Amino acid sequence: MGNCLNSSTRVDNSLSTQNSSGRSNVATSKTSFSSVPSTLTCSTSSNFSAPSYSEKTASTLPTPRTEGEILSSSNLKAFTFSDLRNATRNFRPDSLIGEGGFGYVYKGWIDEQTFAPSRPGSGLVVAVKKLKPEGFQGHKEWLTEVNYLGQLHHPNLVKLIGYCSEGDTRLLVYEFMPKGSLENHLFRRGPEPLPWATRIKVAIGAAKGLSFLNDESQIIYRDVKASNILLDPDFNAKLSDFGLAKDGPTGDRTHVSTRVMGTHGYAAPEYIATGRLSAKADVYSFGVVLLELLTGRRALDKTKVGTEQNLVEWAKPYLGDKRKLYRIMDTRLEGKYSKKGAHELGILAQQCIGNDAKLRPRMSDVLAALEKLQDSKSSTLQPQDDQVRTSSIARRSPMRNPRSPLRPASCRRSPLPSYQRSHEH
Protein backbone atom coordinates (compact mmCIF):
# COMPACT_ATOMS: atom_id res chain seq x y z
CA MET A 1 0.00 0.00 0.00
CA GLY A 2 2.96 2.30 0.56
CA ASN A 3 2.57 5.52 2.49
CA CYS A 4 -0.90 6.28 3.79
CA LEU A 5 -2.68 9.36 2.54
CA ASN A 6 -2.93 12.14 5.06
CA SER A 7 -6.03 13.79 6.44
CA SER A 8 -6.17 16.32 3.63
CA THR A 9 -6.73 13.58 1.08
CA ARG A 10 -9.73 14.31 -1.12
CA VAL A 11 -11.95 11.44 -2.15
CA ASP A 12 -14.14 11.52 -5.26
CA ASN A 13 -16.60 9.07 -3.73
CA SER A 14 -18.85 11.45 -1.83
CA LEU A 15 -22.41 11.16 -0.64
CA SER A 16 -24.97 12.29 1.85
CA THR A 17 -27.29 9.62 3.21
CA GLN A 18 -29.52 8.50 6.00
CA ASN A 19 -28.43 7.89 9.54
CA SER A 20 -28.31 4.44 11.10
CA SER A 21 -31.59 3.05 12.34
CA GLY A 22 -30.38 0.52 14.83
CA ARG A 23 -27.63 -2.05 14.97
CA SER A 24 -27.83 -5.49 13.42
CA ASN A 25 -26.26 -8.79 14.34
CA VAL A 26 -22.75 -9.07 13.06
CA ALA A 27 -19.85 -10.07 8.85
CA THR A 28 -17.63 -12.42 7.30
CA SER A 29 -16.75 -15.93 6.48
CA LYS A 30 -13.79 -17.95 5.42
CA THR A 31 -12.59 -16.15 2.29
CA SER A 32 -15.79 -14.15 2.16
CA PHE A 33 -13.77 -11.02 1.46
CA SER A 34 -11.51 -12.89 -0.95
CA SER A 35 -10.89 -12.40 -4.65
CA VAL A 36 -9.06 -9.10 -4.65
CA PRO A 37 -10.36 -6.92 -7.47
CA SER A 38 -8.17 -7.02 -10.56
CA THR A 39 -7.19 -3.85 -12.34
CA LEU A 40 -8.35 -4.36 -15.90
CA THR A 41 -7.46 -1.17 -17.76
CA CYS A 42 -7.14 2.51 -17.01
CA SER A 43 -8.71 5.70 -18.23
CA THR A 44 -8.77 9.21 -16.91
CA SER A 45 -11.10 10.07 -14.07
CA SER A 46 -13.56 12.87 -14.45
CA ASN A 47 -15.02 15.00 -11.71
CA PHE A 48 -18.74 14.91 -11.07
CA SER A 49 -21.04 16.30 -8.46
CA ALA A 50 -22.34 14.26 -5.57
CA PRO A 51 -25.97 13.19 -5.85
CA SER A 52 -28.58 14.20 -3.33
CA TYR A 53 -30.40 11.47 -1.46
CA SER A 54 -32.91 13.65 0.29
CA GLU A 55 -35.72 11.17 -0.40
CA LYS A 56 -33.94 8.47 1.61
CA THR A 57 -32.42 10.68 4.23
CA ALA A 58 -33.54 10.79 7.82
CA SER A 59 -31.22 13.74 8.44
CA THR A 60 -28.99 14.91 5.64
CA LEU A 61 -25.30 14.95 6.45
CA PRO A 62 -22.85 17.44 4.94
CA THR A 63 -21.14 15.95 1.89
CA PRO A 64 -17.83 14.62 3.27
CA ARG A 65 -14.72 15.33 1.21
CA THR A 66 -11.58 15.11 3.31
CA GLU A 67 -10.55 12.07 5.29
CA GLY A 68 -11.12 13.93 8.53
CA GLU A 69 -14.67 14.86 7.48
CA ILE A 70 -15.45 11.31 6.38
CA LEU A 71 -14.25 9.75 9.63
CA SER A 72 -15.97 12.34 11.81
CA SER A 73 -19.32 12.03 10.01
CA SER A 74 -19.36 8.27 9.52
CA ASN A 75 -21.46 7.30 12.59
CA LEU A 76 -18.99 4.47 13.20
CA LYS A 77 -17.08 3.35 16.27
CA ALA A 78 -13.41 4.34 16.20
CA PHE A 79 -11.62 1.32 17.68
CA THR A 80 -8.08 1.31 19.02
CA PHE A 81 -5.67 -1.29 17.68
CA SER A 82 -5.32 -2.63 21.22
CA ASP A 83 -9.10 -3.19 21.43
CA LEU A 84 -9.17 -5.18 18.21
CA ARG A 85 -6.08 -7.15 19.13
CA ASN A 86 -7.82 -8.21 22.34
CA ALA A 87 -11.13 -8.87 20.57
CA THR A 88 -9.42 -11.29 18.13
CA ARG A 89 -7.15 -12.89 20.76
CA ASN A 90 -4.09 -11.16 19.34
CA PHE A 91 -5.05 -12.07 15.76
CA ARG A 92 -4.36 -15.72 16.50
CA PRO A 93 -4.27 -18.15 13.55
CA ASP A 94 -7.29 -20.04 14.89
CA SER A 95 -9.27 -16.78 14.73
CA LEU A 96 -8.51 -16.39 11.00
CA ILE A 97 -11.64 -16.82 8.89
CA GLY A 98 -10.64 -15.25 5.57
CA GLU A 99 -7.76 -14.03 3.46
CA GLY A 100 -7.39 -11.98 0.29
CA GLY A 101 -5.12 -9.55 -1.50
CA PHE A 102 -6.17 -6.85 0.97
CA GLY A 103 -5.06 -8.81 4.04
CA TYR A 104 -6.79 -11.05 6.57
CA VAL A 105 -10.18 -11.37 8.27
CA TYR A 106 -10.41 -12.52 11.89
CA LYS A 107 -13.31 -13.51 14.09
CA GLY A 108 -13.64 -11.48 17.27
CA TRP A 109 -15.96 -10.65 20.15
CA ILE A 110 -17.00 -7.27 21.53
CA ASP A 111 -19.50 -6.09 24.14
CA GLU A 112 -22.86 -5.28 22.54
CA GLN A 113 -23.29 -2.03 24.46
CA THR A 114 -19.80 -0.60 24.91
CA PHE A 115 -18.03 -2.32 21.97
CA ALA A 116 -15.17 -3.10 24.33
CA PRO A 117 -13.36 -6.42 23.74
CA SER A 118 -15.07 -9.39 25.37
CA ARG A 119 -14.28 -13.03 26.05
CA PRO A 120 -14.64 -15.51 23.18
CA GLY A 121 -18.17 -16.83 23.08
CA SER A 122 -19.69 -13.82 24.85
CA GLY A 123 -21.02 -10.57 23.47
CA LEU A 124 -21.28 -9.65 19.80
CA VAL A 125 -19.43 -11.69 17.17
CA VAL A 126 -17.62 -9.51 14.65
CA ALA A 127 -15.39 -9.90 11.63
CA VAL A 128 -12.23 -7.79 11.72
CA LYS A 129 -10.55 -7.06 8.38
CA LYS A 130 -6.88 -6.19 8.79
CA LEU A 131 -5.33 -4.63 5.71
CA LYS A 132 -1.80 -5.47 4.65
CA PRO A 133 0.30 -2.32 4.46
CA GLU A 134 1.35 -3.38 0.95
CA GLY A 135 -2.03 -4.86 0.01
CA PHE A 136 -3.93 -4.21 -3.22
CA GLN A 137 -6.81 -2.66 -1.32
CA GLY A 138 -5.02 0.42 -0.12
CA HIS A 139 -5.87 3.41 1.95
CA LYS A 140 -8.19 4.96 -0.61
CA GLU A 141 -10.34 1.82 -0.82
CA TRP A 142 -10.41 1.60 2.98
CA LEU A 143 -11.58 5.20 3.19
CA THR A 144 -14.17 4.64 0.45
CA GLU A 145 -15.64 1.76 2.42
CA VAL A 146 -15.83 3.87 5.57
CA ASN A 147 -17.41 6.66 3.54
CA TYR A 148 -20.24 4.56 2.13
CA LEU A 149 -20.92 1.89 4.74
CA GLY A 150 -20.52 4.46 7.50
CA GLN A 151 -23.66 6.19 6.29
CA LEU A 152 -25.66 3.81 4.07
CA HIS A 153 -27.91 1.38 5.92
CA HIS A 154 -30.07 -1.31 4.34
CA PRO A 155 -31.02 -4.88 5.34
CA ASN A 156 -29.14 -6.22 2.30
CA LEU A 157 -25.90 -4.33 2.86
CA VAL A 158 -23.41 -5.74 5.35
CA LYS A 159 -23.14 -3.55 8.44
CA LEU A 160 -19.86 -1.82 9.14
CA ILE A 161 -19.58 -1.32 12.89
CA GLY A 162 -16.32 0.58 13.10
CA TYR A 163 -12.76 1.11 11.97
CA CYS A 164 -9.23 1.56 13.27
CA SER A 165 -6.66 3.98 11.89
CA GLU A 166 -3.40 4.10 13.82
CA GLY A 167 -0.20 4.94 11.97
CA ASP A 168 -0.07 2.72 8.87
CA THR A 169 -2.55 0.26 10.39
CA ARG A 170 -6.00 0.10 8.83
CA LEU A 171 -8.77 -2.20 10.08
CA LEU A 172 -12.52 -2.51 9.55
CA VAL A 173 -15.03 -4.16 11.89
CA TYR A 174 -18.15 -5.75 10.37
CA GLU A 175 -21.14 -7.71 11.52
CA PHE A 176 -20.36 -11.42 11.35
CA MET A 177 -22.14 -13.45 8.67
CA PRO A 178 -22.13 -17.06 9.88
CA LYS A 179 -23.10 -18.73 6.59
CA GLY A 180 -20.15 -17.23 4.77
CA SER A 181 -20.20 -16.21 1.13
CA LEU A 182 -22.26 -17.39 -1.82
CA GLU A 183 -18.97 -18.39 -3.43
CA ASN A 184 -18.33 -20.92 -0.66
CA HIS A 185 -21.74 -22.54 -1.05
CA LEU A 186 -21.71 -22.70 -4.83
CA PHE A 187 -18.18 -23.82 -5.58
CA ARG A 188 -16.84 -25.66 -2.55
CA ARG A 189 -17.75 -29.30 -2.64
CA GLY A 190 -19.79 -29.85 0.49
CA PRO A 191 -22.20 -32.64 1.37
CA GLU A 192 -25.27 -30.74 0.12
CA PRO A 193 -25.59 -28.33 -2.82
CA LEU A 194 -27.39 -25.01 -2.35
CA PRO A 195 -31.09 -25.82 -2.99
CA TRP A 196 -32.91 -24.15 -5.88
CA ALA A 197 -35.30 -22.17 -3.65
CA THR A 198 -32.35 -20.89 -1.60
CA ARG A 199 -30.56 -19.76 -4.76
CA ILE A 200 -33.58 -17.69 -5.74
CA LYS A 201 -33.75 -16.25 -2.21
CA VAL A 202 -30.08 -15.26 -2.33
CA ALA A 203 -30.52 -13.67 -5.76
CA ILE A 204 -33.45 -11.61 -4.49
CA GLY A 205 -31.52 -10.42 -1.43
CA ALA A 206 -28.53 -9.34 -3.51
CA ALA A 207 -30.84 -7.66 -6.03
CA LYS A 208 -32.50 -5.69 -3.22
CA GLY A 209 -29.13 -4.39 -2.08
CA LEU A 210 -28.09 -3.46 -5.61
CA SER A 211 -31.42 -1.83 -6.40
CA PHE A 212 -31.08 0.28 -3.26
CA LEU A 213 -27.61 1.37 -4.37
CA ASN A 214 -28.24 1.90 -8.10
CA ASP A 215 -31.83 3.10 -8.28
CA GLU A 216 -32.45 4.77 -4.92
CA SER A 217 -29.00 6.07 -4.00
CA GLN A 218 -27.33 6.52 -7.41
CA ILE A 219 -24.27 4.59 -6.29
CA ILE A 220 -22.43 2.12 -8.50
CA TYR A 221 -21.17 -0.85 -6.48
CA ARG A 222 -18.61 -1.95 -9.10
CA ASP A 223 -17.71 -5.25 -7.44
CA VAL A 224 -20.69 -7.60 -7.79
CA LYS A 225 -19.46 -11.19 -7.44
CA ALA A 226 -20.26 -14.35 -5.52
CA SER A 227 -17.52 -13.81 -2.93
CA ASN A 228 -18.94 -10.39 -2.01
CA ILE A 229 -22.44 -11.73 -1.34
CA LEU A 230 -22.52 -12.81 2.31
CA LEU A 231 -25.22 -14.89 3.98
CA ASP A 232 -26.80 -14.71 7.43
CA PRO A 233 -28.12 -17.77 9.34
CA ASP A 234 -31.33 -17.75 7.26
CA PHE A 235 -29.48 -17.28 3.94
CA ASN A 236 -30.50 -13.66 3.62
CA ALA A 237 -27.93 -12.05 1.33
CA LYS A 238 -25.94 -8.90 2.05
CA LEU A 239 -23.47 -7.08 -0.18
CA SER A 240 -20.02 -6.56 1.31
CA ASP A 241 -16.74 -4.87 0.40
CA PHE A 242 -17.43 -1.34 -0.83
CA GLY A 243 -13.85 -0.37 -1.60
CA LEU A 244 -14.61 0.14 -5.30
CA ALA A 245 -18.01 1.84 -4.92
CA LYS A 246 -18.48 5.12 -6.75
CA ASP A 247 -21.09 7.84 -7.10
CA GLY A 248 -23.07 7.44 -10.30
CA PRO A 249 -23.64 10.10 -12.97
CA THR A 250 -25.89 13.05 -12.27
CA GLY A 251 -27.91 15.43 -14.39
CA ASP A 252 -27.73 14.70 -18.12
CA ARG A 253 -24.72 12.44 -17.80
CA THR A 254 -25.12 8.79 -18.72
CA HIS A 255 -21.86 7.55 -17.25
CA VAL A 256 -18.80 8.34 -15.19
CA SER A 257 -15.36 8.04 -16.77
CA THR A 258 -12.98 6.38 -14.36
CA ARG A 259 -10.11 3.99 -13.98
CA VAL A 260 -11.32 0.46 -14.73
CA MET A 261 -11.39 -1.69 -11.61
CA GLY A 262 -13.16 -4.93 -10.87
CA THR A 263 -12.85 -8.67 -11.27
CA HIS A 264 -12.24 -10.52 -14.52
CA GLY A 265 -15.29 -12.45 -15.64
CA TYR A 266 -17.71 -10.09 -13.90
CA ALA A 267 -16.81 -6.68 -15.38
CA ALA A 268 -19.06 -5.34 -18.14
CA PRO A 269 -17.47 -5.28 -21.62
CA GLU A 270 -18.22 -1.62 -22.35
CA TYR A 271 -16.65 -0.60 -19.04
CA ILE A 272 -13.50 -2.61 -19.76
CA ALA A 273 -13.25 -1.16 -23.27
CA THR A 274 -13.91 2.51 -22.53
CA GLY A 275 -13.72 3.16 -18.79
CA ARG A 276 -17.27 4.53 -18.97
CA LEU A 277 -19.08 3.39 -15.86
CA SER A 278 -22.85 3.31 -15.30
CA ALA A 279 -25.24 1.35 -13.11
CA LYS A 280 -25.72 -1.01 -16.07
CA ALA A 281 -22.23 -2.35 -15.35
CA ASP A 282 -23.58 -3.62 -12.01
CA VAL A 283 -26.52 -5.18 -13.85
CA TYR A 284 -24.11 -7.07 -16.12
CA SER A 285 -22.11 -8.35 -13.16
CA PHE A 286 -25.31 -9.44 -11.43
CA GLY A 287 -26.26 -11.32 -14.58
CA VAL A 288 -23.00 -13.26 -14.27
CA VAL A 289 -23.92 -14.14 -10.68
CA LEU A 290 -27.30 -15.41 -11.93
CA LEU A 291 -25.41 -17.65 -14.36
CA GLU A 292 -23.32 -18.96 -11.47
CA LEU A 293 -26.50 -19.77 -9.56
CA LEU A 294 -27.90 -21.61 -12.58
CA THR A 295 -24.79 -23.55 -13.53
CA GLY A 296 -22.76 -23.93 -10.33
CA ARG A 297 -19.73 -22.76 -12.35
CA ARG A 298 -17.37 -19.88 -11.70
CA ALA A 299 -17.35 -16.76 -13.87
CA LEU A 300 -13.84 -17.72 -14.93
CA ASP A 301 -12.47 -21.24 -14.60
CA LYS A 302 -8.99 -21.91 -15.97
CA THR A 303 -9.42 -25.65 -15.37
CA LYS A 304 -11.91 -25.75 -18.25
CA VAL A 305 -11.04 -25.83 -21.95
CA GLY A 306 -11.74 -23.24 -24.64
CA THR A 307 -14.93 -21.19 -24.34
CA GLU A 308 -15.91 -23.13 -21.21
CA GLN A 309 -13.34 -21.08 -19.29
CA ASN A 310 -15.57 -18.00 -19.60
CA LEU A 311 -19.03 -18.63 -18.14
CA VAL A 312 -20.79 -15.93 -20.17
CA GLU A 313 -19.39 -17.13 -23.51
CA TRP A 314 -20.16 -20.75 -22.69
CA ALA A 315 -23.68 -20.28 -21.32
CA LYS A 316 -25.10 -17.64 -23.70
CA PRO A 317 -26.16 -20.01 -26.52
CA TYR A 318 -28.32 -22.06 -24.12
CA LEU A 319 -30.09 -19.38 -22.11
CA GLY A 320 -33.06 -18.67 -24.38
CA ASP A 321 -33.73 -22.27 -25.34
CA LYS A 322 -35.87 -24.22 -22.87
CA ARG A 323 -34.87 -27.51 -24.48
CA LYS A 324 -31.14 -26.85 -24.23
CA LEU A 325 -30.95 -25.10 -20.87
CA TYR A 326 -30.60 -28.38 -18.96
CA ARG A 327 -27.17 -28.82 -20.56
CA ILE A 328 -25.71 -26.01 -18.48
CA MET A 329 -27.71 -26.47 -15.25
CA ASP A 330 -25.80 -27.32 -12.07
CA THR A 331 -25.60 -31.12 -12.04
CA ARG A 332 -25.35 -31.10 -8.25
CA LEU A 333 -29.02 -30.11 -8.13
CA GLU A 334 -29.79 -33.53 -9.64
CA GLY A 335 -32.80 -32.11 -11.45
CA LYS A 336 -34.37 -30.82 -8.24
CA TYR A 337 -35.41 -27.44 -9.58
CA SER A 338 -38.32 -25.89 -11.41
CA LYS A 339 -37.70 -26.23 -15.13
CA LYS A 340 -39.95 -23.28 -15.92
CA GLY A 341 -38.32 -21.19 -13.20
CA ALA A 342 -34.84 -22.06 -14.48
CA HIS A 343 -35.89 -21.03 -17.99
CA GLU A 344 -37.20 -17.69 -16.75
CA LEU A 345 -34.06 -17.10 -14.71
CA GLY A 346 -31.97 -17.94 -17.78
CA ILE A 347 -33.82 -15.35 -19.89
CA LEU A 348 -33.39 -12.76 -17.11
CA ALA A 349 -29.65 -13.50 -16.96
CA GLN A 350 -29.51 -13.19 -20.75
CA GLN A 351 -31.03 -9.71 -20.56
CA CYS A 352 -28.61 -8.64 -17.83
CA ILE A 353 -25.50 -9.72 -19.76
CA GLY A 354 -26.58 -8.21 -23.07
CA ASN A 355 -23.79 -6.44 -24.96
CA ASP A 356 -25.78 -3.22 -25.31
CA ALA A 357 -25.76 -1.63 -21.87
CA LYS A 358 -28.70 0.64 -22.74
CA LEU A 359 -30.96 -2.36 -23.31
CA ARG A 360 -30.15 -4.04 -20.01
CA PRO A 361 -32.90 -3.75 -17.39
CA ARG A 362 -32.55 -1.58 -14.30
CA MET A 363 -31.88 -3.42 -11.05
CA SER A 364 -35.35 -2.49 -9.80
CA ASP A 365 -36.81 -4.32 -12.82
CA VAL A 366 -34.54 -7.31 -12.22
CA LEU A 367 -35.66 -7.43 -8.59
CA ALA A 368 -39.33 -7.30 -9.61
CA ALA A 369 -38.79 -10.17 -12.05
CA LEU A 370 -37.05 -12.29 -9.41
CA GLU A 371 -39.79 -11.66 -6.85
CA LYS A 372 -42.42 -12.56 -9.42
CA LEU A 373 -40.52 -15.76 -10.19
CA GLN A 374 -40.35 -16.63 -6.50
CA ASP A 375 -44.07 -16.01 -6.01
CA SER A 376 -45.15 -17.96 -9.08
CA LYS A 377 -45.69 -21.69 -9.44
CA SER A 378 -42.56 -21.76 -11.61
CA SER A 379 -40.39 -21.61 -8.49
CA THR A 380 -42.55 -23.57 -6.07
CA LEU A 381 -43.29 -26.51 -8.37
CA GLN A 382 -42.26 -29.75 -6.74
CA PRO A 383 -39.21 -31.11 -8.59
CA GLN A 384 -40.56 -34.68 -8.69
CA ASP A 385 -43.78 -33.48 -10.37
CA ASP A 386 -41.72 -31.58 -12.91
CA GLN A 387 -39.56 -34.62 -13.53
CA VAL A 388 -42.60 -36.87 -13.98
CA ARG A 389 -44.04 -34.49 -16.56
CA THR A 390 -40.69 -34.27 -18.33
CA SER A 391 -40.30 -38.04 -18.48
CA SER A 392 -43.89 -38.35 -19.71
CA ILE A 393 -43.16 -35.96 -22.54
CA ALA A 394 -40.01 -37.88 -23.37
CA ARG A 395 -42.03 -41.08 -23.84
CA ARG A 396 -44.38 -39.55 -26.40
CA SER A 397 -43.78 -40.29 -30.06
CA PRO A 398 -42.57 -37.20 -31.93
CA MET A 399 -44.92 -38.23 -34.75
CA ARG A 400 -47.95 -38.05 -32.42
CA ASN A 401 -47.12 -34.53 -31.26
CA PRO A 402 -44.91 -32.86 -33.84
CA ARG A 403 -43.21 -29.68 -32.70
CA SER A 404 -40.62 -27.67 -34.57
CA PRO A 405 -37.35 -27.15 -32.72
CA LEU A 406 -37.09 -23.78 -34.46
CA ARG A 407 -39.35 -21.95 -32.07
CA PRO A 408 -39.58 -18.25 -32.92
CA ALA A 409 -37.90 -15.91 -30.46
CA SER A 410 -41.17 -14.02 -30.12
CA CYS A 411 -42.66 -17.05 -28.37
CA ARG A 412 -40.16 -16.88 -25.54
CA ARG A 413 -41.73 -15.09 -22.63
CA SER A 414 -39.50 -12.57 -20.96
CA PRO A 415 -39.55 -12.31 -17.17
CA LEU A 416 -39.46 -8.55 -17.79
CA PRO A 417 -42.51 -8.11 -20.03
CA SER A 418 -42.90 -4.42 -19.27
CA TYR A 419 -39.29 -3.49 -19.85
CA GLN A 420 -38.88 -1.07 -22.76
CA ARG A 421 -36.22 1.15 -24.15
CA SER A 422 -37.64 3.98 -22.08
CA HIS A 423 -35.79 2.43 -19.14
CA GLU A 424 -32.43 3.22 -20.68
CA HIS A 425 -30.09 4.45 -18.02
Beta strands in 155-295 (DSSP E): 160-166, 169-175, 219-220, 229-231, 237-239, 246-247, 256-257, 260-262, 276-277
Task: Say which DSSP state 194 is in.
Answer: P
Beta carbons within 10 angstroms of residue 190's beta carbon: 10
| CA–CA distance, 337 with 387 (Å, rounded to integer) | 9
| CA–CA distance, 262 with 312 (Å, rounded to integer) | 16
Q: Tell me the pairing of strands 256-257 and 276-277.
A: antiparallel
Catalytic residue among 223, 232, 282, 330: 223
Q: DSSP for 391-409?
A: HHHHHS-TTTS---S---G
Q: Tell me the pairing of strands 38-41 and 260-262.
A: antiparallel
| CA–CA distance, 149 with 24 (Å, rounded to integer) | 13
130 is annotated as contributing to ligand binding: yes
Please, how many CA atoms are within 13 Å of residue 180, restricted to the half-sphere of its CB? 15
Number of H helices, E strands in the chain: 12, 14
Using H for helix, E for strand and C for coil, what is the string for 53-72? CHHHCCCCCCCCCEHHHHHH
User: Is residue 223 flagged as an active site residue?
Assistant: yes
Contact at 8 Å (CB) between 7 and 79? no
| CA–CA distance, 264 with 187 (Å, rounded to integer) | 17
Q: How far is CA 213 from the centre of its chain?
A: 11
**In what helix (H) or strand (E) does residue 125 lie, and over which residues does it extend?**
strand 124-131
Binding-site residues for ATP, please?
A: 130
**Which positions are catalytic?**
223
